[in-house]
Chains A and B, each alone.
Chain A
Amino acid sequence: MNYFLRKLSFYAVALWAALTLNFAIPRLLPGNPVDILLAKLQQRGETVTPETRKAYALLLGGDSSDPLWIQYWDYLKNLAKGDLGVSVSYYPAKVSDVILTSLPWTVVLVGIATILAAVLGVLLGAVVGWKPGTWLDSLVPSTTLLAAVPYFWLALILAYLLARVLGWFPLQGGYDVVLTPGWNAEFIGSAIQYGFLPALTIVLASVGGWLLGMRNMMVSTLSEDYILTAEAKGLSPRKILRSYASRNAVLPSVAGFAISLGFVVSGSVITEQVFSYPGIGGRLLGAVTNNDYALMQGVFLFITLAVLGANLLVDLLYGLIDPRTRART
């Protein structure tokens, strides 16, 4: 099968698995989310009609009048229409609207931070791996400390040092609250200022992994015969580093993007909590504490969708970069 087709079908299966998990989790676990949710809705002053009950039961289970496969089919149909229910904690906003207002914050933050960390780590790794045995190289094992640091704790430390003690950055929030969100220089500047610390946290915590992976690949690439050939041809070391060693050594890092992205997203969910960032992670945690199950499931679906999409993109790119993956049937 074609490489691209194979990848597309894999992600289709992964998406289906995520949807099914989302359907199964509330039905498999103890507790009765529908009743809790409807009680909350009634507190907010909405009259609960049998239709509302049925809609939530479809999302969360608890309705035993229909056989499971009909519930499942209706659930998929509702999702296809983009109907994720009404959020209780942001009542009467729809779940999809709540998510759509917070999604850009996270996508921009995590996206920029991850790309920065990857580029920085790969560049540093290439330089460090290029000359094994220097003092820089002997420092490499200490990057494991950075990799083992809990994201949110690093966030706490940075917030304490840079925001509270030195006062360089604001401690909490996503932008200056006196400004109204919009595409003007003032607002974007404020968003960058507020987003700096969360981004720094993600970069610091994830750069070590990239560095280590790239360095190891670099060192083993250097012992390949084609490097020796390049040296024997009298090419300048700079050219060998750039077009011979790095280009081949970077491939596993690109391929490993999938695993690291899931990791970064997981880390950033809790980091957002530390900074009260208005992103999707904060919404997820807010939904959990308020028993807002519909929002919780919606956020999980969107995060999964975003991660799967990013991975698909990277995999397709990888197929373009490395022809060998396409050749393997």
Chain B
Amino acid sequence: MNTFTPRPAQSQILTYTGGKMGISAVPGSGKTHTLSALAAQLIRSGAVSGEQEVLIVTLVNSAVDNFSSRIKEFLELPMPFGYRVRTLHGLAHDIVREKPSAVGLEERFAILDEREAGSISKESASAWLQAHPGELDGYLLPDMEQGKHDWVHRQLLPDLVTNIALAFIRSAKDNRLTPEKLRHMLNVAPTPLPLAEMGLSIYSDYQRALAYRGAVDFDDLIRLAIDLLENDIEFLERLRYRWPFILEDEAQDSSRLQEQILRLLSGEAGNWVRVGDPNQAIFETFTTASPQHLLDFIHFEASQYNELPDSGRCQPRIIDLANRLIKWVNGEHPESSVRDALTVPFIRPTPADDPQPNPPDDPQGVKLISNKYTPDEEVEAVVKSLDHWLPEHQDATVAVLVPRNQRGADVINALKRRDIDFVELLGSTSSTRIAAARLGDIVGALTDPQSSARLAAAYLAWRREGEEDSNNDFQHQVAGLIRKCGAVETFISPRTGVDWLTGVASENDETVLDELDEFRGLVRRWQGTTLLPVDQMVLTLSQDLFTSPTDLALVHKLALVLRQVSDDHRDWRLPELNGELSLIARNERRFLGFSEDDSGFDPSHHPGKVVVTTMHKAKGLEWDRVYLVSVNNYDFPSGQPNDRYIPEKWFVRDGLNMEAETLSQLEAACATGEFNFYTEGVATQSARLDYVRERLRLLYVGITRARKDLVLTWNTGRTGKQTPAIPFIALQGWWEESRK
């Protein structure tokens, strides 16, 4: 039973019965709860019939479960009846799945994940570079020495072109341009657009590769869903009837096309509730997502507007700091054109007697550390602070939030050195990666069966499940023995009289020998699986490796993925397939697993441990204490002359942002207006400002993750030239002033 007592602002929203409503919510204002309560109320009130559903649309998969279980609690029904929670991609998939052939797909069309899409575009990009050597030379620094020039060509350009291609393809799809349409547009363009030509060439190649595999990517799903809805009015009407209410969460991150799906589904006079916090729009770089879509909806389309300004999450000082950031940005940011990056409402502490009171006021809880650290020193300082703080706060939650994954790895290494417990939340979750790595170790031993080192690794992987029961020394002893075995066959498949195990019997006690004997029995069985198709092999191995339901579910999914990979690459054998497992294990292939952190991470489950994650991933989460690191002018530039921008490559002339320039050429190709021609450099400038805005919001998100304590630090960067971010300096000045 859910005992939800709404605050006045939340109650106001629960009076909704229909129409278009926009809601601005501040961090921690309970929007998931309010939206779930609204869904349950609409269902209970009988506003949806037996055939209908309230459609709840969220941004990420982890939120789906969260919504589902809350509505279930509100409704007190054993089955999730009367509603459907989907991500936008999930929704697009549902729509396309109903009529795949209407958009040229067969019924079991495959959806490529980001890694596979990335690898196809990489292949296409390489092919383009090979066919057009020197074509991009005009964009490179003119005075590079030959050796450097060659190195850039060999090492750096392929990645750059791949990234440009990915952005180009995504943008073309977002503009619903097929390669054919785009070809036509470029043919009639008044001026040559070489970057767009390159983008189109790779895009065409990429689409052919997809068609060959019978697959679509995530962006195709959205595009095809809209095609379907626009071309089949009867179908659209049916879906409108099925989903008479649409409740959209995180609306600030919807792209133009995603918004269009929901606009089509809700219809002119439909019922569409959009909740979002424009200040937390942090996903729009090089997508058409923009908080402006939500703001426009609120200002021009919605007939009802509400705010959820009360938040019981942070202590008053942290709220003040976050509100101050909004005020400073709006009124004092040195780059006046980004002053719209953050917007009101300000965060308001919850009213008295609220069931969710704010943590008590603590002026000591906010620390803006002005020390000029090197990157290593900064990490060391944070870890030292944690080492000092943790013993006293074993029941409290804490996180270190980094701007990029690589910085997270640095923090983790430092935590390991100090033996501090941590939970990693970067890319695939660690439990998913651990499972993939264990499986990978076994497959590794089968790929290279003569290697005793790999066999020892496989042994440890097999036993890793028992790692926590203090048998580590024993296992390492056994692994050490296996490693010393010179000829693996004399251990695994000895012929009469030449059994390695007998040879080592005199120096080892019986438990070790029994362990080795059991292991070799298993290895023999595993060797038999190498002849099976990869999915069957993985499933068979998993029976000896895993017992937890989440791991087993994960392996089943891994088996499906590997089978797909193997069908797509018929010439691949175990080493290549094992390579895919390694990618998952090394976090290079994003793979949604089944553990708690995949389906909705809950920081309160990890008290006394340091959670390390990115500021992006921290959205929606909260901790008692939060460290925000690297708040310098590299990760948070402000449009100032000495700022550097990550998307601008050092080897490109004039500081051009090649992705932005390419997209700008794409835009010029589509434009019909007389004055929409392409001018080099304009897009780079505009991308800088977008980036500055997004980073300001990222900082705001970071600050509002902290409940009681917040620590901000910065570092001088790799070159030693970085300075504290200007918003950092501004907040620090204000903070010191206010404390006087």
B is a partner of A: no
Taking Cβ atoms with an 8 Å cutoff, the residues of B that contact A are none
